Structures are given as structure tokens and as C-alpha cells.
Chain A
């Protein structure tokens, strides 16, 4: 029995029905599998919660924060919803594409950085909002992008 299994069981004990723990369980599994959910991660979650891997995948595929494909070491997310877009989110996104040399949705060849556009992250008054490894940075204009990319390349 793995450490992940025990962690998931501990989280599940907070709920009347262990199935309720599937989101936190998938999150734990993703954190321990380099930021995505390979088939073995879904199996581990399923075993800990007495659910099938197919059920776990069906749930995981519903939610944007679970990734069923490998991702880079760092994940950069740029909100392109209305409020951020009005303040130049597209220019910020294109600056990341140029600086990283990839299209939005891709990962750099060295596996360092994945770039994604995302729907509203709830920082509308201070946009454009960029999330780097789950931490918000507000606002991020195109001019701020080179320094962020440099920081990620070093880190």
C-alpha cells in the first residue's frame, strides 16, 4: 500500500461517502505524477476509493484542472476571458508564445514550460491575470513576460 493510498484514505475519512473525496484524491495523484494523471494514477485513486479507473477518468475528464496528458515542469496560464481580454490579454499571450517559441496549448521541447489559455480566473479587476504554477500574478502585460519566462527557465 502506497503513501498516496494512505493520504487518499485520510482525506476520504472527512466525508460520509468516500466517493466525495475523488477531486482531492485526483489532485493528490496528479501532484505525485508530474502534474498529470497517467493510467496508473487513475488506478491508484480507484483502488483507494473503491471506484473503477474508468469512473475516475470520467470524472477527471470533466474538470479543467485535471490533465490526462503530460505537461511541462511549469504551467503558465493566461486568462483570455472578457475582462482580461479588454485589457490586452491576447498581447500577453502572444508575448509568451514568442518568448517560449511555442503555440498556446503546447509544451516547450525541453519539457520546461506548458502554456495555456484559460477561462476567467477571477482576477478581472487587476487583469490581465496570469497564473504560474497555480499562483496568480496580476496584472501581467506583454512587457512583463520576458522576465517571467527567464525566471521559469532558470528555476
Chain B
């Protein structure tokens, strides 16, 4: 465990590399000088050769994305680099660790990427709740400025204000333009018309924090790490009913078993594993018989799910799957921006049906009705938020159908109050905030 290969979090085995000096001491800031001595296209070639795929969830090859940005002679407007630090997929806390522990590696990657797309303007959109991470990043940015590394590039740290949907790239751009964060119709894609209708490269924090190591070691070397179609390492966020939750940077292709049992210490409290969410709460669930599935894009697809944000949630046998579905649906209903009808209305129906199943009020046709509602959301919205609600819930029904059926047949939750998710209050259901002095 101690000598495992780290790229993004390299050098943080003892503690974070928050200062310029600490980062420089492990060879930091050399890749920027190397990249700036290269032609921008040569930098993009290295990224293409590395096989680096986006770490935010969609997994799009980063080098290709960068190559879509029109060149200075062709474009009319300036090009922007926007770094998506609006990490909010339930179960995911890796970008937070990257910003806390290696803020300089993120900033170095930002400046290299800006050079690659010949941009002078970088925005880092950081989720509003991440106050400590914002402060760490701001301090690091001050040091970068003091060391005169910006080279004419401006980096603006822009704090979000609490909206999951702003992790979706076009909603993020709307929000950054000072609007409600509602996704745009694509095409046009941000590379052509993004921020202020200008060419915009949008990348996740972990993706950008991988750029400097790639330039340092060379794209071809990086491509040797991991497995086919999934090069390199990934910072996996492990949570749920495990002994040692936390972030673990591992080569792509590591098995769920190694992550959960060897590194995470296995299932806590002597319980049995019941289900695994492998890529954040929006992806289809896996069952214990799939524990040897490997964490890479192709393997997850073969198992009917997705690598998503790399957030692995282990769920033990105390959890009622109907309650899990209800809690997941409540989240996406709360976060639906309301723009597309299937998502806005469908997530509401999902919550209602799941609640009636959980409370033993559902009829025999309601499981199929639930699957039908999911099907009427899937692929029918501008952005993936609706899918993010429908896919996991549909998978809980298909993988644990007997448990759902028991709720209906018995007219009650078989777990009663013994489920680990019993009576969990979703924020949407809490009383409206009231202060004592507000008249009734």
C-alpha cells in the first residue's frame, strides 16, 4: 500500500504539498517550463499520446477536446479554459483532496493547458461549500503570482453557490455568466461556443492535475500505466460501510475487491457486502458476485455500469434497496433544474412511487410503472441529470426485484426501522427555515 504508484497525488504520502516550496521540492513546476518551450500543438500531441480521459465522469479524451479549440488565427473571440471544481456527485470527494493536497499541481496543469490551447484566461469554478479548498487554492495562486509563473495568463477562482447541476459543463458556463445554472442545448459544444459564446475548454480538476505529470514523463510513458482504453491512475473515493473510507489513487484496472477489501479494510462491523455503487450515485449498481470487476471504462461498461466520477460506495446488508432508491431519487429531484419536463416531472414521480413502495402503499403494477417512468426520462433531456436519477433506480429494481416485490406483497418494508437508511430526512423535506422574529 505504502509504495503504490501515485501520479496526481504523488509526494503527498506524508502530508500535502500546499506551498510552492514543497511542490518544487518534489520536482514541481518543471513541466510548465518544458511545456512552454514546446509548440502548443506538441503539448496537445503529448496529451493525445497519453490517452488521458476526462476524470469528471464522461471520460472524453482530453487531448481530443483540446484539439477542438480553434486556433488563434481562426477564432474571433478569445479562448477560455474553465476548470470544473464543482464536485458534487454523491460519493465523490477526490477533487477536494487534489485541491487540498496538490493545489500547485492543479495550477501548473492549468497553465500548461492554457498554453496548449493558446488561452490567456482561466476560470476555476469551485463548489461554494468547499471553503477550505478555496482558501488553499487562493494561497497557492498568490504564490504562483509571486513567483511570476503566470506568463500573462489570468486565473480567476470563482465560487459556486450550491447547485449540483453546475457540475454539468454547460450549466456551469451559464452559472459563470451570472445566470441560473440551467444546461444548454448541444451542439454547439463549448469548444466552439462556450463561455461568452467563445471557444472554451472545460476540464475536471483531476484531469488538469494529471497534465503536468504527463508532460514531465511524456505521453507515451503515461499511456503504459493502467489498462487499454483507460490509461493512467485514478483517484478513487471510497465510502459507505467500509473500514477505511478515503481517497485512493490506483492504476486504472484495479479491481473493486482490491479497493474495498485490501485498501479499504473490507466491510465494517462484521457485516456482509450487499451492493456496490462504482462511480457515484448516478450509475447502475453492482452486486457482490461482481466484486472482481476492474475499475476501468471498458470493464465497467461490460458489467452494465459506468466508472463515472470514480466514487465507490460499498453498501452492507442492513440497507433496504427501496430506501436507497428513494434517497437517490430525492437527491436528483432536488437538483433537477426544471428545464426539461421528463427530468423535472419524472424525478418527482420516481420519489412518489418509491415512497409508496417503501411505505407499503404500492400496488402490483407500481414496479413496472416506476421502470416506465425511468424509461421516459432516459435519453430524453438536454443534460444527463435525468439519466443520473433513472439509471441507478432502474438498476436497483432489476437487480433487487424480489426485495421491491416483498414491500408490495407484505404491505410494509421488510427491514422496518432496522435498515441503515430508515427515516433518513432528505433536505427537500425539511421545514422551511424560520427565524424566531419572523411573524407567523
List residues of chain A with CB under 8 Å of any chain B CB: 14-17, 19-24, 26-27, 49, 51, 58-59, 62-67, 69-72, 80-83, 85-90, 93, 103-111, 114, 116-127, 131, 134-136
Partner of B435, one of A19, A20, A65, A72: A72
Q: Ordered nearest first, which 10 A-B pairs have the shortest CB separation?
A: A64-B162, A125-B245, A105-B431, A19-B178, A105-B430, A124-B239, A63-B161, A65-B162, A70-B435, A83-B239
Q: A114-B435, A119-B335 are in contact. List 13 more A-B contacts (CB 8 A).
A: A23-B159, A24-B158, A66-B161, A66-B162, A82-B281, A83-B90, A85-B327, A86-B240, A90-B422, A103-B431, A119-B88, A123-B93, A125-B237
Complex interface: chain B residues within 8 A of A86 (CB):
239-241, 313, 315-316, 319, 420-421
Q: Is the CB of A15 within 8 A of B156?
A: yes
Q: In the complex the two chains form, what is the Cα distance from A22 to B9 in whole Å?
A: 34
Q: Is the CB of A17 within 8 A of B90?
A: no
Near A by CB (< 8 A), chain B positions 164-195 give 164, 175-181
Q: Is the CB of A69 within 8 A of B435?
A: yes
Shortest distance in angstroms between B315's beta carbon and chain A's nearest beta carbon?
Answer: 7
Near A by CB (< 8 A), chain B positions 118-159 give 127-132, 154, 156, 158-159
Q: Is the CB of B90 within 8 A of A119?
A: yes
The digit string for B81-106, where 1 denotes a CB below 8 A from any CB of A, is 00000011111110010000000000
Q: A83-B239, A109-B436, A124-B239 are in contact. Are A24 and B179 (CB under 8 A)?
A: no
Complex interface: chain B residues within 8 A of A103 (CB):
430-431
Complex interface: chain B residues within 8 A of A23 (CB):
128, 158-161, 175, 178
Shortest distance in angstroms between A118's beta carbon and chain B's nearest beta carbon?
Answer: 6
Q: A65-B161, A83-B90, A124-B92 are in contact. Are A111 and B425 (CB under 8 A)?
A: no
Q: In the complex the two chains form, what is the Cα distance from A73 to B90 in whole Å?
A: 28
Interface size on B, residues (CB 8 A): 70
Q: Please, could you name 19 A-B residue pairs with CB atoms under 8 Å apart, sorted by A?
A: A16-B196, A20-B158, A23-B160, A27-B161, A51-B178, A67-B433, A69-B433, A69-B438, A83-B245, A83-B313, A86-B239, A86-B316, A86-B319, A107-B433, A107-B435, A110-B436, A118-B427, A122-B96, A122-B127
Please, which residue of chain B has its CB at the minimum distance from the CB of A88? B420
The digit string for B233-261, where 1 denotes a CB below 8 A from any CB of A, is 00001111100011100000000000000
Q: Is the CB of B434 within 8 A of A124?
A: no
Complex interface: chain B residues within 8 A of A22 (CB):
178
List residues of chain B with CB under 8 Å of any chain A CB: 87-93, 96, 127-132, 154, 156, 158-164, 175-181, 196, 237-241, 245-247, 277, 281, 311, 313, 315-316, 319, 324, 327-328, 331, 334-335, 337, 420-427, 430-438
Please, which residue of chain B has its CB at the minimum distance from the CB of A109? B436
Q: Is the CB of B334 within 8 A of A93?
A: no
Greatest chain A CB density within 10 A among B91, B334, B422 is at: B91
Please, which residue of chain A has its CB at the minimum distance from the CB of B177? A20
Q: In the complex the two chains form, what is the Cα distance from A80 to B428 in whole Å?
A: 11
